[in-house]
Structure 1
Amino acid sequence: MKKTDFYIQEAIVQAEYALMAYGEYEKAMLAANTKLVFYHLHHFVLHVTSIDKLLFPKGNNFRLEILKNVQTKIRIEISSIRKLRNHLEHFDERLDSYVKSYAGQAFFDCNIVTECKGFPEKDFLRAINGNTYKFYGENFDLTEIHSNLTPLIKTLKSVKIAP
């Protein structure tokens, strides 16, 4: 086994897990089960972020050197999910920010707001609007990220079996 194969194999597994979590998210959306929507999206975000961390490590020269040829073959952008993952990972700090600016307005968290008109951009923490994950005024396009996973798996499998 080549050294790159260890990282590629794990990235493939994480992509497959992310696809599974996204499928469960879609089922939860159809069932209008808000708790399960956010539960499965949390896992989707974690798995996609694991792919990015595995293949494009920050500050890990050992892995960067091993994966530099693999990185040139990956033509998709999944690093945008890191920011959402950081929001979820450091939720306590985001909650601190919300509470500091709280002025008695209505509080929204973990809401499905698809087709809601005039939903306040800063009066909530987490919301779903269509396939956009909204976190305290920032938007993350889940469809765009999800659509990159299957091509990524295909690319990684071709890189893994290449000599």
Structure 2
Amino acid sequence: MNSLKEFIFIGEITLQAKIAQRAAERLRATHNKRDNLETWCSIQSILVAAGNVSKILWPNKAYKARGESLRKFLGIDESNPLSSRKFRNHFEHYDERIEEYFKNHSGGVYTDMAMNPSFNSGIFGNEPLETHRGYNSFNNTLVFRGETFDLDAVLTALNDILNKCKPYSLI
């Protein structure tokens, strides 16, 4: 690999990984401040940055060869947590999730942006059934309608990819 295009992609991966690291620092700083807006700003920044790296390394069909080439060059395994966009899409396409929810539910309680949702249910360890988006600061996980997503696993994957990019990046 020696083309300018690949080095630009590696530079972008590096930038996005560093954005996610900075957002993770801000997220940790919110744990004692109860600043829900900064918490969700930080979470969104992590998810967007991780999604951008995912789209570079696991692009749509038109650019599949580029993704394969970059992953091979950087030594990134196909089973990397960033290869799946499912959870990020819950947040990126939240408008669609709201529409889908109300097709099947006429009303009731709609709990969103819950903080430490496993403790809000009254039953330790069980998420409230109607929590749409939640963040658990005790184990750094996100919850979306009963599904759990480990932010630490994503941040570790981004850090590993960043380390593989460092020799080739100017950032």
Specify the TM-score bucket, using the shorter chain as the normaliser. 0.7 to 0.9
Structure 1 residue 120: deviation in Å? 4.5
Aligned-partner Cα distance in 1 for 2:62–2:66: 10
Kindly indicate whether the alpha-carbon contact (under 8 Å) linking 1:17 and 1:47 is maintained by their aligned counterparts in 2.
Answer: yes
Task: Count the aligned residue pairs.
Answer: 157
Deviations 1:41-71 (A, max 9, x none): 011100110001012211123xx43453431
Taking structure 1 as the reference length, the TM-score comes to 0.83
Aligned-partner Cα distance in 2 for 1:99–1:68: 39
Deviations 1:68-104 (A, max 9, x none): 3431211333123x21221122211111222233365
| 1:90 aligned to which of 89, 93, 112 | 93
Structure 1 residue 154: deviation in Å? 1.0
Aligned-partner Cα distance in 2 for 1:57–1:104: 38
Aligned-partner Cα distance in 2 for 1:90–1:114: 21
Structure 1: gaps spanning 5 or more residues:
none
Kindly indicate whether the alpha-carbon contact (under 8 Å) linking 2:117 and 2:127 is maintained by their aligned counterparts in 1.
Answer: no
Structure 1 residue 115: deviation in Å? 5.2
Q: Which amino acid aligns with 1:140?
A: F
Aligned pair 1:124/2:131, yes or no?
A: yes
Q: Which SS does the other structure have where 1:43 is aligned?
A: helix
Taking structure 2 as the reference length, the TM-score comes to 0.80
Q: Which amino acid aligns with 1:79?
A: S
Structure 2: gaps spanning 5 or more residues:
none
Aligned to 1:112: 115
Deviations 1:93-123 (A, max 9, x none): 1112222333654321101125514355431
Q: Which amino acid aligns with 2:14?
A: I
How much is the aligned-residue C-alpha RMSD, in angstroms?
A: 2.2
| 2:83 aligned to which of 79, 84, 103 | 79
Moved over 6 A (4+): none
